Structure 1
Amino acid sequence: MGSPVPRIAACLLAALAGRGEIRWGSVVLSVKGIQLDSVVSHSDGVAVFDTVSPVLVKYDDRYILPEDANFQTGLTHNLRHKADLLGLSNEVEVEVLNSGPRRRFDVAKGFRIGATARIRVAAAPQLLDALYEWGLGLSTVEGFGWIR
């Protein structure tokens, strides 16, 4: 169980403390342990993000993968757009270090194709902090692009 927002994760942690099990609908889950990952400092303006869910990037109305030619361009555009929405500097450099296998996910409005990735991002520390909580790429609200 997780959340890309540490404040939400801290609330989950407090709620689960001391519980031996939780019910998720009709399923009973045993709680083996709980832990909150520490928040990383981005004060130097460079971060290496490892995603736990596939990063979604579209180019010419199709989903592309980290090894595709326009992936870095598309992701850079996405991150600059997020910076603009937050009123932060949109100077961003992106470098894909490696990626996982192609994955296809069926969702309510069709399908999504992406891959997990390890990505180096150079940007303002405030933007890196925001991306750490927000995630990388498209459809982060659906659980894509979450950062470890």
Structure 2
Amino acid sequence: MRLRVGVSTSAHAIPWKRVLEPGRAVCYTLLRAAAPVLADRLHEQGFGRHGMVPFGYSGPVFPQARKRRGVYAAGGRGYLELGSPLPEVVAAWSVALAGRDLLDWGGVALRVHGISLVETAVERGSARLRTRTPVVMKGSGRDDGGERSTRQAWVLPTEPEFHHYFEQNLRRKAESLDLAPDVSLEQISWVGPKRSFAVGDGLKLGASVEAELKGNPLVLNAIRDWGLGQANSAGFGWVAA
């Protein structure tokens, strides 16, 4: 399930380091306002057998904002999307947002103009999902000789290890939700430019993708509302509705 939050701002731009970074705190703030026990459990333990955090978000989008080189354009009416495969998370966000006029997005004030449920569903055993934000994926961190050289080995969709670790992440998400890991990556049909965004523990590198997946529709729908790749709760890998 996912929510679309109508927002507006008088700001003309959002600093690049604030495009995604504030979202995780906003999601937890809203969750704590309506379901504090659930919020604390997800924050401290994660969910399911792998301890993953099953939610994601898009970052603010302002379709009519005038594009300018070097800045993330903002201004006027726009929207923010929040999603989770757990209905109780989306329900809590809905309750919290119903009582809010403003959201603080890392120092940028977003005025709330209402919320709606985005009702799109995967009904077949395949789906083509394109992300709005970069997919980040951690690889083995091993060099050509097989020795581990780093623990922060972000791999891009064009690199050899990506397919394996991407597919493994999809199956871990299914298992976290107690669903059979009936999902596979058929192909990456499009790759966007390499981008990095700041989050709480530094920069994460990735690229937007269009991925063709095959599997149980229940799993595909859950992944669509959660996001592709790792660090979804930091706004990465958000799937465009």
Report the TM range for the smaller structure's normalisation: 0.7 to 0.9
Cα distance, 1:69 vs. partner? Answer: 1.7
The number of residues matched between the two structures is: 144
Cα distance, 1:87 vs. partner? Answer: 1.6
Cα distance, 1:23 vs. partner? Answer: 5.8
- In the other structure, the counterpart of 2:175 is 84
Percent identity between the aligned chains?
30
Give distance in 2, aligned partners of 1:143 and 1:88: 23
In structure 2, stretches of 5+ residues that fail to align are: 1-79, 142-152
- In the other structure, the counterpart of 2:162 is 71
> For the structure 1 residues 107 and 22, does the alpha-carbon distance in structure 2 shift closer, same or farther, using more than 3 Å as the test?
closer
* Residues 57, 138 of structure 1: 8 Å contact kept: yes
Is 1:123 the counterpart of 2:123? The answer is: no
* Residues 228, 238 of structure 2: 8 Å contact kept: yes
Cα distance, 1:55 vs. partner? Answer: 0.7
Give distance in 2, aligned partners of 1:85 and 1:43: 21
- In the other structure, the counterpart of 2:40 is none
TM-score (norm 1): 0.80
Cα distance, 1:50 vs. partner? Answer: 1.1
> Matches of residues 1-148 of structure 1 in structure 2 within 5 Å?
1-5=80-84, 7=90, 11=94, 15=98, 22=102, 24=104, 27-29=108-110, 36=116, 38-61=118-141, 62-94=153-185, 95-148=187-240
Cα distance, 1:37 vs. partner? Answer: 6.7
TM-score (norm 2): 0.51
> For the structure 1 residues 120 and 23, does the alpha-carbon distance in structure 2 shift closer, same or farther, using more than 3 Å as the test?
closer
Q: Give the secondary-structure state (helix, strand or coil) at the position aligned to 1:96.
A: strand
* Residues 170, 184 of structure 2: 8 Å contact kept: no
Kindly provide the CA deviation profile for residues 68-103 of structure 1, in whole angstroms up to 9, marking residues without a partner as x: 122111110001111111121212221211011111
> For the structure 1 residues 23 and 85, does the alpha-carbon distance in structure 2 shift closer, same or farther, using more than 3 Å as the test?
closer
Give distance in 1, aligned partners of 2:179 and 2:222: 10
What is the letter of the counterpart of residue 64 of structure 1? V
What is the letter of the counterpart of residue 127 of structure 2? A
Give distance in 2, aligned partners of 1:134 and 1:46: 17
Give distance in 1, aligned partners of 2:108 and 2:169: 37
Q: Give the secondary-structure state (helix, strand or coil) at the position aligned to 1:59.
A: coil
> For the structure 1 residues 43 and 22, does the alpha-carbon distance in structure 2 shift closer, same or farther, using more than 3 Å as the test?
same
> For the structure 1 residues 34 and 117, does the alpha-carbon distance in structure 2 shift closer, same or farther, using more than 3 Å as the test?
farther
In structure 1, stretches of 5+ residues that fail to align are: none
* Residues 4, 147 of structure 1: 8 Å contact kept: no
Give distance in 1, aligned partners of 2:110 and 2:122: 35
What is the letter of the counterpart of residue 24 of structure 1? D
Q: Give the secondary-structure state (helix, strand or coil) at the position aligned to 1:57.
A: coil
Give distance in 1, aligned partners of 2:156 and 2:124: 28
